[in-house]
Structure 1
Amino acid sequence: MRTTTAPSGGSFDGRWATEVCRACDPVFAAADVGFVRSGDVTDPGDQKVGAILWEADPTRFAARYPDSGIVRSYGEDQWPGVGCIDFWLYVEAEAATLRLSVEGWSLPHLAIEATGHGGMDGMQVASVFARILGVSPGRPGRASSR
């Protein structure tokens, strides 16, 4: 059964985002393509986090993941001007859903049912990002099979 708001005791606030990032940051570090977290987008009214963005260095990303089709997706002419490769986590608090949107591999937005607890949600999100990037979640530097 799906809840319409975060379960009792959970939320999608700054503390939640910190815990999610604590789980995801090692995954992005393990990819070794210069990912940096660009912060989160917070609704000023209810202080709920609406999105978290990680950005990779496009040259390093394309070199590490040539099968991602990232250069082709931008086009050879536009590729030199690309500033970053975006990996978004969108938070739909009312629906208790997290949507992952990544550049490369022509993947659709991936949905994860959220708990509203940063540690648990972070592990779920990190696991999906790790599978996409072919790295082990929580173990920087170790590759897994893709």
Structure 2
Amino acid sequence: MPDVRIRTARPSDHARFVAVCDEWWGRPMTHLLPRLFLDHFHTTSLTAEEGEELAGFLVGFVSPSDPEEAYVHFIAVAPEHRRSGLAGELYRRFADAARERGCAVVRAITSPANERSIAFHGAFGFTVTGPHPDYDGPGVDRMAFELRL
């Protein structure tokens, strides 16, 4: 990961994120990444680049309802950068920034079918619970992740 630079996201990054997220995830995901996240939470989100190419990104924010909680809404890493430590570095930087803003916990969720995400979060140090039935509505179960800072 030596040539990858991580910076604070900008609203203009949204188009780059949605251009790759379906391909990187291997299924339709752009509907989960509306522009409002980059318009309103770009200062707590991260963009990773190798030269001019997008290598990964993390969209997250400090909860407006509970300022001691931060939430990662979306993280994606280009296939050629997987297993390079980039996802972990994005999470480390987000967690450090959340801690500096007074947060005590970082949270995230995923589908119970997303075994790679569940394994990654557990290995990173998150407490993994679930599946939580009907978490996002009837029949939409989720796994929950919590990282104490």
**Could you tell me the TM-score, scaled by structure 2's length?**
0.31
More strand by share: 2
Answer 1 or 2: higher relative contact order, Cα 8 Å, separation at least 6: 1
**Could you tell me the TM-score, scaled by structure 1's length?**
0.31
